[in-house]
Amino acid sequence: MATDLFTHTVQHTLDVVGIFVFAISGALAAVRRNYDVFGMAVLAEVTALGGGLFRDLVIGAVPPAAFTDFGYFSTPLVATALVFFLHPEVERINVAVNVFDAAGLGLFCVTGTVKAHTYGLGLTPSVALGLATAAGGGVLRDLLANEVPSLLRWDRDLYAVPALVGATTVALLIRFDALDGVSAGLAALVAFVLRLLALRFHWRAPRAWHRRSAAAEGE
Amino acid sequence: MATDLFTHTVQHTLDVVGIFVFAISGALAAVRRNYDVFGMAVLAEVTALGGGLFRDLVIGAVPPAAFTDFGYFSTPLVATALVFFLHPEVERINVAVNVFDAAGLGLFCVTGTVKAHTYGLGLTPSVALGLATAAGGGVLRDLLANEVPSLLRWDRDLYAVPALVGATTVALLIRFDALDGVSAGLAALVAFVLRLLALRFHWRAPRAWHRRSAAAEGE
Amino acid sequence: MATDLFTHTVQHTLDVVGIFVFAISGALAAVRRNYDVFGMAVLAEVTALGGGLFRDLVIGAVPPAAFTDFGYFSTPLVATALVFFLHPEVERINVAVNVFDAAGLGLFCVTGTVKAHTYGLGLTPSVALGLATAAGGGVLRDLLANEVPSLLRWDRDLYAVPALVGATTVALLIRFDALDGVSAGLAALVAFVLRLLALRFHWRAPRAWHRRSAAAEGE
């Protein structure tokens, strides 16, 4: 089913684009932390491929695509070289990076959910793995940078929710037998737009009730 | 063998109880760190299912039970909702949480050891995986909270030792062909009681010799 | 092919030596962080076996050798006991530890690359897994110690590059059908010597261009 969704070339191109933009975000995080070129390459690889690697280990798709597809593996190295030589310029187009990152998020939550379901998992765990595919690389990036994963912080714009909405949409499409290239693309688009709106309007997720009232008192 | 230990219903119920109490501890850790509701759900899932997930990946039981059993997966979400709305009340029953957590520790070190051995591992690595099942989720929780795992800190009451005693007891029972529902339950009970005693009397593990004498001089 | 490289006894002995010296480095890190004896054992196991465990999960060699070979598993416990009783003496021979660690690095980058290729991976991902085998345990050690992995820091002497050179040499030997016990040993020797030279002359990897000029201005 997954292979019928898009033509292989389209799918592969979209994957490589998603990997590239995630890798840029990883390499930039390494520069901000003052890592050397090796740290940049490691963070680029981990950010771009970590989520899919986790998904593949869980569903038993070994060796994972990250290690069998040369394009997947080498793309983060290209991103690293780009950031290494041009990082002030890349920083300046931070808005563009955020837009590409949102596109990667939308794409990966869809392909991750589809791949997990193709390997026989139920719809709910497939949604969880779609979310893990989209957001897992960023969590690993933050762990390696010795920071609290921005996914978990309340003072960051919504990141998991758009991916969750996209993955859930895919699960519903599978459930009602309506998944095809167009509807999958629309699900990715929904996640993409939601993430852009969250960035634009600083949407945030609620914290536990008590915390919020305590914060309100503090204001 | 594992399936004969307890009836499936009893086993499943005990697992869900263990998952629930570990999830409560994860969600509370997220509230203390001021994470949003998503961070709470992620930490609840990771704390409750992370140890078993690691074990299943190592023994090749893919997809892991965490992703195939809807009850396992959804229980941490229930725990998250509970903590989200009621966390001051949950904090107040911290003693109760510690008791439930000790029960989860006892149960998971037994079931983890049995499952690893069922998948063909030797007794020593099965004990190691029993320990990993019981304590691994807490380590992942602490990593995601950007803290030194409390498992490793000398100033925390014994946590690994009770699990290790329980897992070793199970290994000895397997070795002498004496493992059944009753003896497995007793092994879990031993780990449970040891953990409660460690909490009550603040038992701690020794540090390296030199450190201890240096600390003694400092007093 | 891997089994023909060295006789099994030689291979196993070299592996155990590598595991032992990595375990010493893990246990010493735990003592420096003031962990108890359990934290020492956990860090010793993780440092010594973590890289190979990751490789085995990725290539689908489950259960991983770390859990099926009693010698692999118990060696870190011996190292822990040694550091526990004698750690001031062990600290004093820090130079020796660095030399042994470099030997472990050289050996593991070779055996990791060979094992990955034996399991059917291409040459480039095999090199990546050789690097992960050699350096992965140290990264996990630093994560558990809540520190930025020293592998990623620009102010540490080169660690990844020697392993990468060793692994790449092995890949080239495989490519040109020239891998045997002698040439593999030479590849390990190259990585070993490069690491010693990096330590001796404080070789470091470059950071992104902008960072370096900013640092130069600051001087």
Over residues C144-180, the pLDDT tens digits come to 988 888 888 777 888 889 999 999 999 999 999 988 8
Neighbours of A160 (CB within 10 A): 22
Asked if B144 reaches chain A (Cβ–Cβ under 8 Å), the answer is yes
Which of B40, B62, B70 is closest, CB to CB, to A208?
Answer: B40
Picking from C91-100, C126-135, C206-215, which range would have the lowest pLDDT averaged per residue?
A: C206-215
**pLDDT of the residue at A137:** 92
| SS (HEC) of chain C | CHHHHCCHHHHHHHHHHHHHHHHHHHHHHHHHCCEEHHHHHHHHHHHHHHHHHHHHHHHCCCCCHHHHCHHHHHHHHHHHHHHHHHHHHHHHCHHHHHHHHHHHHHHHHHHHHHHHHHCCCCHHHHHHHHHHHHHHHHHHHHHHCCCCCCCCECCCCCCHHHHHHHHHHHHHHHHCCCCCHHHHHHHHHHHHHHHHHHHHHCCCCCECHHHHHHHHHHC
pLDDT digits (tens, 9 = 90+) for B154-166: 778 888 899 999 9
Report H helices in chain B.
2-5, 8-32, 37-59, 65-68, 70-92, 94-118, 123-144, 160-175, 181-201, 209-218
Asked if A181 reaches chain B (Cβ–Cβ under 8 Å), the answer is no
CA B122, chain centre distance (Å): 21
pLDDT digits (tens, 9 = 90+) for C112-138: 999 999 999 999 999 999 999 999 998
pLDDT band at C35 (very low <50, low <70, confident <90, very high): confident
Say if the Cβ atoms of A125 and B83 lie within 8 Å. no
Using a CB-CB distance cutoff of 8 angstroms, which residues of chain A are in contact with residue B141?
A: none
Using a CB-CB distance cutoff of 8 angstroms, which residues of chain A are in contact with residue C165?
A: none
CA–CA separation, B58 and B130 (whole Å): 12
Q: Which residues contact A82 (CB under 8 A, 6 or more apart)?
A: A24, A27, A90
Picking from A77-81, C27-31, C48-52, which range would have the lowest pLDDT averaged per residue?
A: C27-31
DSSP3 helix / strand / coil % (chain A, rounded to 5):
80, 0, 20
pLDDT digits (tens, 9 = 90+) for B17-44: 889 989 988 888 888 888 888 889 999 9
Using a CB-CB distance cutoff of 8 angstroms, which residues of chain C are in contact with residue A36?
A: 152-154, 204-207
**Interval A195-208 mean pLDDT:** 85
pLDDT band at C211 (very low <50, low <70, confident <90, very high): low
Q: Give chains near C: 3+ CB pairs under 8 A.
A: A, B
pLDDT digits (tens, 9 = 90+) for A15-55: 888 899 889 888 888 888 888 888 899 999 999 999 999 99
CA–CA separation, C171 and C127 (whole Å): 7
Picking from A7-21, A180-194, B73-87, B136-150, which range would have the lowest pLDDT averaged per residue?
A: A7-21
Complex ipTM over 0.90: no
